[in-house]
Amino acid sequence: MKKKWGLIAVLTFGLYVVAMYFYFFYSQNSGIPATLKGTAADPSTFLTAQELVLSEDLSKIRNFLFFIATPFEWLLYIVIMSTGISRLFERWSPEQQKWAIWRNAMYIFLLSFLLFILQLPLDYYQYTLSKSYGISTQLFSSWMRDNVIDFWLDFGMSVIIVTVLYWLIKKSMKRWWLYAWALTVPFSIFLLFIQPVVIDPIYNDFSPLKDKVLETKILSLAEQADIPSEHVYEVNMSEKTNAFNAYVTGIGENSRIVLWDTTLNRLTDEEILFIMAHEMGHYVKKDIYLNITVYLLMTLIGLWLIAKIMPWMISRYGSILKIKQMSNIHSLPLFLLISSFLLFFSNPLSNVVSRYQEVRADEYAMELVENPEAAVSTFQQLTKAGLGEVNPSALVKWFRYSHPPMLDRINKVADQAKEE
């Protein structure tokens, strides 16, 4: 019976992969509306013939990989549980240790390392894909270093989170989810506070913006927007990518305005100022607080759903998944499976909120810099650098796009440019 369920899971995943493959490579065709042909939003007007082909091919592969990567993760969790690997890892943890955190650390290391190894081929393929299309410039040694850093940072946080979580489950099977959520609030704010000054510099080198003339222009914009800021930072990303980006991160005194050096090297000052005005729009509209609120609300709902779903699954499929009770740490893959499932299907909702914020930030940037021509060229350059898909299908937009499609963004600002 257990082998039957495992085979069903593998076959179901295989059929799903085939269905997604045919959808993205043979049936999906977003195209460009006839009314926008030849306009600034039409990629054929700002991409070369080769870039158009590369963009179309890369978008298909990226979308396909996105929709199979998470279900592949679900399959791994099911296999790890049903084959008894999770229980085996728990037995290997040193029971003689007095402190649960050390036993949990051993279990989490074994589980994390196994998942890291099993998912590495797919991650490596995505890395080589980006390299082959000229987007990534990162050496393998640098890419591997980032992956190792990710592993140890995730491991360290997981040990703390999981230890506290399972302690709460053992103390209160009925209300653990509420107590866990209450602890999520200060922990999330703490991570936001330390990220710019502790976590981000582990991956890249940050320094004050060297172009002081441009910095003066950016700080002048910040002053118009009533944003207290003394410095703009640049980060060396050209050794990793050809893509552009700029962002505002952190909260309070640790907040930072950051520009990638690729953005500085390949965009004009007017285009950079539009990007920075967009980021300032997020600050002025207090999007970070909205994001925190939405995240905490979705976390509360998610933990409550896990508290309902997980005991039911253990009571019904515990023998197949080799889980006797929820409070045993070998039930962690089931917790992660349900969490990943809920997170994946919450993407459309979180993306709607994000796209709403991005539209507001675009509108604010247009008001602040009053330069629609720079806005159009900025969006075109962003598309060109990342070989992005300007008009994705509805399915891709719902699940993948935290920003409005470039077709919509370019068309909107282009219309405003005509009016002026």
Is the distance from CB of 245 to CB of 237 less than 8 angstroms? yes
Is 239 assigned a catalytic role? Answer: no
Token pair for 185? 């609030």
Residue given tokens 């209160």 in the structure block: 172
d(Cα 182, Cα 168) in Å, to the nearest integer? 12
CA 73 to chain centre: 16
Token pair for 120? 């590495």
Collapsing DSSP states into helix, strand and coil, what is residue 235? strand
CA neighbor of 69 nearest in space, from 22, 122, 113, 28: 122
Residue given tokens 């590369």 in the structure block: 54
d(Cα 148, Cα 139) in Å, to the nearest integer? 14
Which ranges in 95-134 belong to alpha helices (H)?
Answer: 100-132
d(Cα 24, Cα 21) in Å, to the nearest integer? 5
Out of 90, 234, 271, 279, which one is annotated catalytic?
279
Is the distance from CB of 388 to CB of 412 less than 8 angstroms? no
Token pair for 56? 């179309």
Do the strands 233-235 and 206-208 form a parallel or antiparallel pair, or are they unpaired?
antiparallel
Other beta carbons within 10 angstroms of residue 275's beta carbon come to: 23
Is the distance from CB of 367 to CB of 417 less than 8 angstroms? no
H or E, element range at 310: helix 287-321
d(Cα 418, Cα 372) in Å, to the nearest integer? 9
Active-site positions read 279
